[in-house]
Structure 1
Amino acid sequence: MAVGTQESSTDEAQKPKSKNIFYGWWIVIAGSTSQAYTSGTFWQGFGAFFDPIVEQFGWSRALTAGAVSLQRTESGAIAPFVGWFIDKYGPRRVMLSGIFATGLGFVLLSRINNLWQFYVAFTLITLGLSFGTFLVVTTTVANWFVTRRTKAIAIMSAGSGLGGILVPALVWLIAVTDWRTGLLVVGIGYWLTGIPAAIVMRSRPEDYGMLPDGAQAETATDLESADEVVDSSENKNSKSTKKPVEVEFTAREAMRTRVFWQLVLAMGGSQLIMSATVHQIPALTSFGVSRTMAGMVILAISIVSLLGRLASGVVGDKWDKRRVIAVAFVFQFIGTLFFAYTSNNWHLVAFVVFWGIGFGASIPIRFSMLADYFGRRHFGTIMGIMMTFSTVFGVVGPIFVGLMFDVRGNYREPYLILAASIVFTIPLILTLTAPNQPNRSRLPVRR
């Protein structure tokens, strides 16, 4: 039995069954639910707790915000280990441990009285989120789909966009109770939503007598390349008589390819500007936009990005993925230009449309491409390593924008510079080609 499928030995008699719906779609739904809650309560919603905590204890905003920067750094540093655990022990066990730690972290955070306690609780939340949310869910979905992989990841990640709906509810909860009660409710909510989602997770369809995408065994000859590289540089209409083989790169083999480092630089350049979203509201207010309007702009971006994710899911499995993500990056570039030169409401509308679609569309495609090039077997580890490098860029982006504002006194210049980083990534994406497969990875797809 393959490495990373220990779960299946204990679940052999508990094979997922569904008469009409491929089990992979239940994994997508569970993952999307988990992502929605995480996005609404942490990625988009944790800012609602920031001011109440700072005001009660009188802590420095820099010191308090340092926990958020620490979270990004730690998350990136441990991502490869998370990926290894997923590949080794299966997603269900990893996600259950992560969800338990995340919920406990929020509960402990609701009881803090000192800054060091804040950092300890936040560290536990960081570990929990790393092991229990995006990385494990994305890896699982990528393992259950091949020909519909982009669509599946798009639907799963759409939960992040929907999570924005929870933010107003979170603000209301804090207003009618207090921030401690809000954190306690959020922590318990992680257990109530995350544990059922984790139970749904399974490693690979082959371990349960199924094929990716729900293909039937009798038609397996049509899909023998369950992990065949979908080289975006190939003509989709070309017909090959060559017997397809399963692609299987280890993390070490992937890192020896040029494609891996092209993706690191391309995704890193994109991450520079995506990570700087923390400055969007302060930047908009510096441009003369009210805080209320700025908040509405961020909410609108969340909704439009949802459309971008779903749209990329529709076209990503049919069109050249390199061109799709290149167009998404062009949209981000145009949106950033409108943002940097904002002077009226029409600029805001253009920013929301171009940035929202570009940002949303790029998310599913990037992870689908990674699985296309390097296969499913070690996807978790490879994705974790990729995320580590992206974290470096993600930490630099907000610091660069803040430093430039302190030195130059405006947000326009740093955002224009970051816009250039998007332009730099486009040729890197368009020149991607499938790596040469290691000889030992050329194994027939199991039936």
Structure 2
Amino acid sequence: MPAGQALQEWKNHWPLALAAAFGMTLSMLHVYSLGAFMAPMEEELKWSRAAIAGGLTISSLVGALLSPFMGILIDRLGCRRVALPGAALFLLSTCLLTFTTRSVWSWWGIWFLVSLTLSLVRPAVWTKAVSAVFHRGRGLALAAALSGTSIASLLGPVAATYLIEALGWRMAYVALALLWASFVLPMLYFFFDRADHKAGRDVASAPISKGYSLREALASSHFYRLGFATIVIAVVVIGMTVHLIPLLTGKDMPKGEAAVIAGSVGVVSLIGRFATGAMLDRWNGPLIGAFSAVLPAMAALILLLCEATPLNAILAVCLLGFSLGAELDVIAYFTTRYFGLKNFGAIYGSIASLLAIGTGLGPLLAGLCFDMTGKYDFALMCVPVLCVVTAIMLGTLGPYPDFDREKATETP
């Protein structure tokens, strides 16, 4: 029966999962495309790469601050009323980056506007809509929705690189926004409408979930272990991914070849996302989390110690991409397992704020390392240490709580 119910959910709501995946590409497009813009912007504007990556830092800090308020807005207005105008405003604000002047403050100021609109299309709006209508098949549906980040990491660097070569970096931002608008906005308009309406009915009829309150979660060591792992993995994985193209070209790899190899992160992360979800359902979760945390360390060692041949670069990208795909799945899965679903939004929102901070710090720290030393070696040397500590944190989380037993114990 559960398998039949899951199949029925997919039959009824697959357009929502597909639309959510397209919407998810918006939440990470700015991250994965920025690496292609760094070299031409550095050449024209004479800015440091840390200053350029500072746009992501602003985006992440604004996202971290606004995440709780966006959750309230989504709860009150519904997913469609937030997602549709949010997507249009985000793409419009992305076009404004073409007006960047030689003052770095103009770049950061426009990024602040981009960050405000980006808060409307972050993962919460897509995962909430999917979770509302998928119950038996929720894990796979969330993996499908979150696969939008993999699509962005696959298409973003390649599209940005070719648009920059054809139009220059300024008009490339406009073209990139128009390209994304041409397929994302129709998908949201035609498919997110019906899905959001049904989501409201399903939420109203859903049973009350078990789990911790936000206060109980904050008193748990699991929250801080998971929070530490979240911010470290984000710093390492996003930092390496954003700087992957300049890192490879700095080792004398042709720009086009580097862009294609970097773009393959998306394919591997897609595989990693679904594979990790399947493994978490079947095997020991903490060990799977620890395994995924070690992969970026292996990628960093290859990039640091081995010659920058296409084969070595592909191997490093495969390891990095698999970890990138596993990241969001592991965080969301552990949040549901260790804290339950009763207050999932509040608890996951708090952890997602740390994810946003790490997403902004990673590219900034890698850029600072390059600006100070002229290469990325020191940053790559730090990655294995951070990953090993993170793996220990995740691997020792222990068994999942039994909320039914805790409920029975509390009952007089």
**Fold match (TM-score > 0.5):** yes
Aligned match of 2:210: 247
Q: Do the aligned residues in 2 keep the contact of 1:142 with 1:376 (CA within 8 Å)?
A: no
For the aligned residue pairs, the C-alpha RMSD in angstroms reads 3.7
Q: Do the aligned residues in 2 keep the contact of 1:276 with 1:401 (CA within 8 Å)?
A: yes
Aligned match of 2:193: 199
Aligned match of 2:246: 282
Q: Do the aligned residues in 2 keep the contact of 1:329 with 1:422 (CA within 8 Å)?
A: yes
Q: How does 1:273-422 map to 2 (within 5 A)?
A: 273-277=236-240, 278-345=242-309, 346-405=311-370, 410-422=375-387
Letter in structure 2 aligned against 1:161:
S
Q: Secondary structure at the match of 1:247?
A: coil
1:438 Cα deviation (Å)? Answer: 11
Q: Do the aligned residues in 2 keep the contact of 1:326 with 1:430 (CA within 8 Å)?
A: yes
Q: Secondary structure at the match of 1:316?
A: helix
1:360 Cα deviation (Å)? Answer: 1.6
User: Residue 258 of structure 1 is aligned with which of 221, 243, 246?
Assistant: 221
Q: Which stretches in structure 2 are left out of the alignment for 5+ residues?
A: 1-6
1:174 Cα deviation (Å)? Answer: 4.9
User: Residue 396 of structure 2 is aligned with which of 431, 438, 441?
Assistant: 431
Q: Do the aligned residues in 1 keep the contact of 2:292 with 2:326 (CA within 8 Å)?
A: yes
Q: How does 1:22-421 map to 2 (within 5 A)?
A: 22-36=11-25, 39=28, 41-48=29-36, 58=45, 60-61=47-48, 63-110=51-98, 115=103, 118-163=107-152, 164-165=154-155, 167-177=157-167, 181-188=171-178, 193-194=184-185, 195-196=188-189, 198-202=192-196, 207-208=201-202, 246-277=209-240, 278-345=242-309, 346-405=311-370, 410-421=375-386
How far does the alpha carbon of each residue in 1:270-327 deviate from its partner, in whole angstroms, 9 at most, with x for none? 1231132233333334444443443232122222222111222333333333222222
Counterpart-to-counterpart distance in 1, 2:99 and 2:378: 42
Counterpart-to-counterpart distance in 2, 1:145 and 1:317: 17
Structure with the larger helix share = 2
1:102 Cα deviation (Å)? Answer: 0.8
**Length, aligned pairs only:** 392
How far does the alpha carbon of each residue in 1:146-193 deviate from its partner, in whole angstroms, 9 at most, with x for none? 554332222222222223235444444455556565444544556552
Letter in structure 1 aligned against 2:66:
I
Counterpart-to-counterpart distance in 1, 2:8 and 2:141: 20
1:255 Cα deviation (Å)? Answer: 1.8
1:20 Cα deviation (Å)? Answer: 7.4
1:396 Cα deviation (Å)? Answer: 4.0
Counterpart-to-counterpart distance in 2, 1:201 and 1:419: 43
Moved more, 144-153 or 304-313: 144-153
Aligned match of 1:10: none
Counterpart-to-counterpart distance in 1, 2:276 and 2:102: 45
Q: Which stretches in structure 1 are left out of the alignment for 5+ residues?
A: 1-17, 213-225, 228-245, 443-447
1:143 Cα deviation (Å)? Answer: 4.2
**TM-score (normalizing by structure 2):** 0.79
Q: Secondary structure at the match of 1:60?
A: coil
The change in CA–CA distance for 1:187 and 1:200 in structure 2 (over 3 A counts) is farther
The change in CA–CA distance for 1:350 and 1:179 in structure 2 (over 3 A counts) is closer
Moved more, 273-282 or 184-193: 184-193
Q: Secondary structure at the match of 1:45?
A: helix
Letter in structure 2 aligned against 1:150:
G
Q: Do the aligned residues in 1 keep the contact of 2:163 with 2:176 (CA within 8 Å)?
A: no
How far does the alpha carbon of each residue in 1:109-167 deviate from its partner, in whole angstroms, 9 at most, with x for none? 44566755544432222122222132321333344445543322222222222232354
Larger Rg: 1
1:264 Cα deviation (Å)? Answer: 0.3
Counterpart-to-counterpart distance in 2, 1:344 and 1:191: 36
Letter in structure 2 aligned against 1:366:
I
Q: Do the aligned residues in 2 keep the contact of 1:154 with 1:364 (CA within 8 Å)?
A: yes
